[in-house]
């Protein structure tokens, strides 16, 4: 099958293997990057995170492994493997790995 940015098109992929853990780091791997939206897999070592920011579109997060604290507009949400949360457009949000965790981020630009 064809590949685009290292992800095989038309092939089954194990989401947990897309972005491997790295000590003291955040790792990301783009799955799809189109004008209408993106899908990105992330892994975070314990204590790592993303500082507060906003995005112009809603962001869907599915936690694949571990646990994170996701702050949305100053309210903390603990989200664990198997759970989802939607971060609303234009609202400040940040996240921190309570323990090593992996997530799938889906942003639809509409």
Q: Domain spans of the chain?
A: 19-108
Residues 63-100 have pLDDT tens digits of: 999 999 999 999 999 999 999 999 999 999 999 999 99
**Per-residue b or e along 39-68, where b marks 16 or more CB atoms closer than 10 Å to that residue's CB:** bbbbbbbeebbeeeeebebbbbbbbbbbbb
pLDDT one-digit tens code per residue, 49-69: 999 999 999 999 999 999 999
- What digits encode the pLDDT tens for the residues 8-32? 778 898 989 999 999 999 999 999 9
Closest C-alpha among 48, 34, 55 to residue 102:
48
| Mean pLDDT for the stretch of residues 25-43 | 95
Rounded to the nearest 5 percent, the helix, strand and coil shares of the chain are 5, 55, 40
| Cα dihedral across residues 12, 45, 39, 5: positive or negative | negative
| Per-residue model confidence (pLDDT) at position 3 | 45
DSSP states of 25-47: -EEEEEEEEETTEEEEEEEE-TT
Question: CA 68 to CA 78: how far, in whole Å?
Answer: 6
Q: Residues 101, 67: contact at Cβ < 8 Å?
A: yes
**DSSP β-ladder status, 26-34 and 75-80:** unpaired
pLDDT at residue 7, rounded to an integer: 74
Mean of per-residue pLDDT scores for the chain: 93
Domain at 19-108, CATH homologous superfamily: Jelly Rolls (2.60.120.10)
Write down the pTM of the prediction: 0.89
């Amino acid at each position: 099958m064809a590949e685009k940015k290292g992800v095989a098109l038309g092939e089954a992929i194990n989401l947990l293997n897309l972005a491997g853990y790295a000590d003291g780091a955040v790792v990301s791997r783009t799955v799809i990057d189109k004008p209408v939206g993106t899908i990105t897999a992330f892994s975070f070592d314990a204590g790592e995170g993303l500082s507060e920011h906003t995005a112009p579109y809603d962001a869907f997060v599915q936690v694949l492994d571990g646990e994170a604290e996701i702050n949305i507009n100053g309210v903390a949400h603990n989200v664990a493997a198997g759970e989802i949360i939607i971060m609303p457009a234009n609202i400040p949000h940040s996240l921190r790995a309570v323990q090593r965790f992996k997530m799938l981020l889906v942003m639809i630009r509409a």
